[in-house]
Structure 1
Amino acid sequence: MFFTRRITYSLKQIGENIVTIPKLQTKFNLRILHKGNLAVNSVRHHSTEQPEWDLNYEEIANGDEELVHKLKIIALETEVMRQDGKLVPDNSYLKPKHWRELLTKSSRSARQKYLTYLFKLEKKDENRQAKSEEKRKMYEEYLAKKEEEKATKPEMSLEEFASSYSLQHNNIFLRFYDTTINHMYNNRLIKAIQFGQKLVVDLGYHGDMTKRENTNCAKQLMLLFADNRLSDDPFDLHFCNADKDSDLYKELIKFIPIAEEPWFPLNIHECSYLDVFPKEQLVYLTPHVREEVKEFDHDTVYIVGGIVDKVNQEPLSLAKAKREGLKMAKLPLDSHLLWGAGSGKSLTINQVGAILMDQKVSGNWEYSLRHVPRRKLFSEENTLKAIDRAYSRKSVTERIRKPFYGKVNFDKLNYNNMSKPIRNQKQDEQKRVDIKNLFNE
């Protein structure tokens, strides 16, 4: 639902010709759009500087007039949040993709959470740049010191150079460059493509995930590939049902830019795994079945669902495996692990891959399941933490719901005594006796 209300500032209306954010004057009643309704805040002091914006509204909104109008309001709302002290990134950090993501948020709180997330990313980038700049300066100082020592130190003869044993002089060890190590790891994957066991990751769930979940899923796929490279006996990875127009695939290419190169040791298929492998060899790993993987089969092609289900927790992998008539199984988590109270049993894609890698080599489930996070398992420390969290939530709820009336005796309230007799019979008789005595006197 698009915004239909207007934000009133020092200007009368938001016209179509507005391309910059108006000045926020000092000491005025700040009006912000809060969940579709106008809410008046207290008087605040704001900067009178004109914020710099370089937004192409038409390009971001693809020419949609309603989206352009909504984008202008969101831009105003973002500046108001910044002036109000909220965690909002700098204007130069916000790219068109960020504005498009803000357009998809239906509430102000969701937009504020997303802006807070971008603010933290911005600060991480700034810290990273500051550290790299500090390292660069230290390296320049080191080189200058070396040059100074070289200028003051007399030149070494050939005999002295041969007799001096150090990394930069005579040494029996060869230097291993990063490219050499990368070639070694890639060579392992090439051998796995020729002779290794296959492992399939189903990328066909991109439509069932939000943009944030697609990004997290792509990161988990990158970690899975990295862990597989480091394994002594890696899998031959196959990413099937890949849609090159999906957010998941685009994010994956951002994490692994050379994944599409023909020489790169990663198999990405736009077709289904049914078109690549025999159906009788496929086993879909899903947590929604009862049958467990008792023993690891080296001839089986296991399928892992490439999905992050933080929002939609429906058994999508179970439904897909049933629809395609595939064999299904789950990891023996309940048989070998004691789960803690209130902990979910969901694992990330790279954690499932690491478990399968260790099980392939060792054949010991107790050893392979070490990749399950310890916080999810039962222990005295985790149990005490869970009790503390539950107690803290309960105490907060009790404080919120604490009656304001304190120690009030409800039995003495008038509306509780309406059904009781107003007068006591003995008291009425005593009053009558007193009146008779008064007349007799």
Structure 2
Amino acid sequence: MEQLSNKFQLLQWNFRRLLNIPQKTVSPVVWRPPMITSSHEPSSEFRENLSEEENKRIDRILEELFLFSRLSVRFPKKISDSEWKTFLELKSRKSRFDEAMFLFRKEKLEEEDARKKLEKVNFRKISEQNVGSRVPSYMLHFPNSVSEEYYQMKRLYEAYLLENRPILAVDCQFLSRLSPRGRGLTALQLQYLITENRRNPDPFRLHFVNYDSKNSSIQDLEKSKLQSIRKSHVFNPIVTENGLETYENHSKNVIYLSPDATEELESVDDDKIYVIGGIVDRVPEPGIPKHASLEASQSAGVFARKLPIDRYVDFKSGSKFLTLLAVAEILRQVNIHGDWKKAMKVAIPVRNTRGADEKNPKARAAQLRIHAFNQEILKRIDRRLGKDFI
């Protein structure tokens, strides 16, 4: 039956290509040998701590993953116990399929980072071998990691000790209330925020407030996505379980950024404390109120302001709810030069300022084919396993 299905899909695909008819999917949806192995299964220790019902759910999810791995090459090489914990929390087959693809993309990014680090190490070794040898005067030696880290630390210490940069505080009270996928995406943004701030020539005094380090969900994030929080040798943000009462002596200088605020932020000053809600930007979250950041500012009794996005950016597509990194970069740019328009041009993706008629039609068509490909995979699995289970 599978061979017949494969032949039909390939025949249809080649026929459309021969007649130059636009394809419905990005590639033929065919059955392949399974990619799933023992490295994808949860450990026996993990399963021993689950209930009987949870173990049955694990078995059903393994059946799904087996079929995912046969229909899409975008499948992770392994799945850890902490990632299995996320799979158990996900409520739909589509969300589990999206999580598998997310883990695949994460692996690819990690592989690319490892490759770049290796290239740096090899380049540094070659540079060190050339020290003392005759090289053209215009060639500069690649700076070693010690000097890079030294200057990064120097800038950070100056920002904190001299108080010559604004405080950027991330309100983490929402983190444990997000969906598993939202929690993971937000944690990745927080990790990127730490890394980018450390590397930036103009770093913030970065704080994480309302950070519940005893919460099991957040502890899992520290193991999988927020690893630098646990590294004592890495310069991290100041992390506290306390909320905005941390700044009670400077309450007049605290500004909570919220898209629902009525007044706009006018400037970004070194002596102010700018608070952003640690909430994923992409999708609505059932556990988070619609006006969560505004309500948080009112509860803490601090000023709420919104970025003047509508005044400087003509949004034609996408959401006006920006990523944590985008908000941080806008604040940084305005703090440096005061030009909101220039800052938003740097931080807001071009895709948000282009209408449908301005976008690349080939790219749009490719996205539709990818979507159709994924939908076909889910249909095949529904036919094989029956409708989704809860």
TM-score, normalization by structure 1: 0.61
For the Cα contact (< 8 Å) 2:326–2:348, is it kept in 1? yes
Q: What is aligned with 1:223?
A: 192
Q: What is aligned with 1:76?
A: 63
Describe the shift of the 1:251–1:172 C-alpha distance in structure 2 as closer, same or farther (beyond 3 A). same
> CA offsets, 1:147-171, max 9 Å, x none?
9xxxxxxxxxxxxx98x6317xx99
Q: CA deviation at 1:173?
A: 6.5
- The answer to whether 1:303 aligns with 2:282 is no
Describe the shift of the 1:388–1:68 C-alpha distance in structure 2 as closer, same or farther (beyond 3 A). same
RMSD: 4.5
> CA offsets, 1:36-59, max 9 Å, x none?
xxxxxxxx99979x9757654563
Give 1 or 2 for the bigger CA radius of gyration: 1
Describe the shift of the 1:174–1:127 C-alpha distance in structure 2 as closer, same or farther (beyond 3 A). closer
SS in 1 for 2:267: coil
Q: How does 1:45-64 map to 2 (within 5 A)?
A: 55-56=42-43, 59-60=46-47, 62-64=49-51
Q: What is aligned with 2:242?
A: 271
Q: Give the Cα–Cα distance (whole angstroms) in 1 for the partners of residues 148 and 118 of structure 2.
A: 27
For the Cα contact (< 8 Å) 2:254–2:275, is it kept in 1? yes
SS in 1 for 2:293: helix
Q: Give the Cα–Cα distance (whole angstroms) in 1 for the partners of residues 78 and 160 of structure 2.
A: 42
Q: CA deviation at 1:237?
A: 1.1
Q: Give the Cα–Cα distance (whole angstroms) in 2 for the partners of residues 231 and 134 of structure 1.
A: 22
Describe the shift of the 1:218–1:187 C-alpha distance in structure 2 as closer, same or farther (beyond 3 A). same
> CA offsets, 1:242-267, max 9 Å, x none?
11134446535644526552872521
Q: How does 1:183-262 map to 2 (within 5 A)?
A: 183-196=150-163, 197-246=166-215, 247-248=217-218, 250-251=220-221, 254-257=225-228, 261=232
For the Cα contact (< 8 Å) 1:61–1:67, is it kept in 2? no
Q: Give the Cα–Cα distance (whole angstroms) in 2 for the partners of residues 349 and 94 of structure 1.
A: 27
For the Cα contact (< 8 Å) 2:334–2:343, is it kept in 1? yes
Q: Give the Cα–Cα distance (whole angstroms) in 1 for the partners of residues 343 and 118 of structure 2.
A: 41
Q: CA deviation at 1:214?
A: 1.9
For the Cα contact (< 8 Å) 2:184–2:221, is it kept in 1? yes
> CA offsets, 1:161-197, max 9 Å, x none?
98x6317xx9997763112111111111101111223
Q: How does 1:364-383 map to 2 (within 5 A)?
A: 364-370=339-345, 371-377=347-353, 379=354, 382-383=355-356
TM-score, normalization by structure 2: 0.68
Q: What is aligned with 1:439?
A: none
Q: Give the Cα–Cα distance (whole angstroms) in 1 for the partners of residues 134 and 244 of structure 2.
A: 56
AA matched with 2:292: L
SS in 1 for 2:275: strand
Q: CA deviation at 1:304?
A: 1.2
SS in 1 for 2:173: coil
SS in 2 for 1:358: helix
For the Cα contact (< 8 Å) 2:82–2:220, is it kept in 1? no
Q: CA deviation at 1:123?
A: 5.9
- The answer to whether 1:93 aligns with 2:62 is no
Q: Give the Cα–Cα distance (whole angstroms) in 1 for the partners of residues 111 and 266 of structure 2.
A: 49
Describe the shift of the 1:249–1:334 C-alpha distance in structure 2 as closer, same or farther (beyond 3 A). farther
Q: What is aligned with 1:67?
A: 54
SS in 2 for 1:205: helix
Bigger relative contact order (CA 8 A; separation at least 6): 2
For the Cα contact (< 8 Å) 1:222–1:252, is it kept in 2? no
Q: Which moved more, 1:291-300 or 1:352-361?
A: 291-300
SS in 2 for 1:290: coil
Q: Give the Cα–Cα distance (whole angstroms) in 2 for the partners of residues 385 and 358 of structure 1.
A: 27
- The answer to whether 1:320 aligns with 2:293 is no
Q: Give the Cα–Cα distance (whole angstroms) in 2 for the partners of residues 335 and 26 of structure 1.
A: 56
Q: CA deviation at 1:326?
A: 1.2
Q: Give the Cα–Cα distance (whole angstroms) in 2 for the partners of residues 308 and 293 of structure 1.
A: 21
Q: Give the Cα–Cα distance (whole angstroms) in 2 for the partners of residues 327 and 373 of structure 1.
A: 28
Q: Give the Cα–Cα distance (whole angstroms) in 1 for the partners of residues 146 and 68 of structure 2.
A: 47
Q: Give the Cα–Cα distance (whole angstroms) in 1 for the partners of residues 50 and 109 of structure 2.
A: 34
For the Cα contact (< 8 Å) 1:189–1:229, is it kept in 2? yes
**Equivalent residue pairs, number:** 328
Q: CA deviation at 1:95?
A: 2.4
AA matched with 1:349: L
For the Cα contact (< 8 Å) 1:227–1:354, is it kept in 2? no
> CA offsets, 1:51-89, max 9 Å, x none?
757654563362411112222233234334445x34574
For the Cα contact (< 8 Å) 1:284–1:304, is it kept in 2? yes
Where do 5+ consecutive residues of structure 1 fail to align?
A: 1-24, 28-43, 148-160, 397-441
Where do 5+ consecutive residues of structure 2 fail to align?
A: 4-29, 370-390
Q: Which moved more, 1:174-183 or 1:279-288?
A: 174-183
Q: Give the Cα–Cα distance (whole angstroms) in 2 for the partners of residues 117 and 372 of structure 1.
A: 23
For the Cα contact (< 8 Å) 1:285–1:331, is it kept in 2? yes
Q: Give the Cα–Cα distance (whole angstroms) in 2 for the partners of residues 26 and 258 of structure 1.
A: 48
Which of 301, 314, 322 is the equivalent residue of 1:347? 322
Q: What is aligned with 2:103?
A: 118
AA matched with 1:296: V
Q: Give the Cα–Cα distance (whole angstroms) in 1 for the partners of residues 327 and 187 of structure 2.
A: 15
Describe the shift of the 1:174–1:332 C-alpha distance in structure 2 as closer, same or farther (beyond 3 A). same
Describe the shift of the 1:126–1:222 C-alpha distance in structure 2 as closer, same or farther (beyond 3 A). closer
Q: Give the Cα–Cα distance (whole angstroms) in 1 for the partners of residues 97 and 328 of structure 2.
A: 35
Q: How does 1:320-339 map to 2 (within 5 A)?
A: 320-339=296-315
Identical-pair percentage:
22
- The answer to whether 1:280 aligns with 2:252 is yes
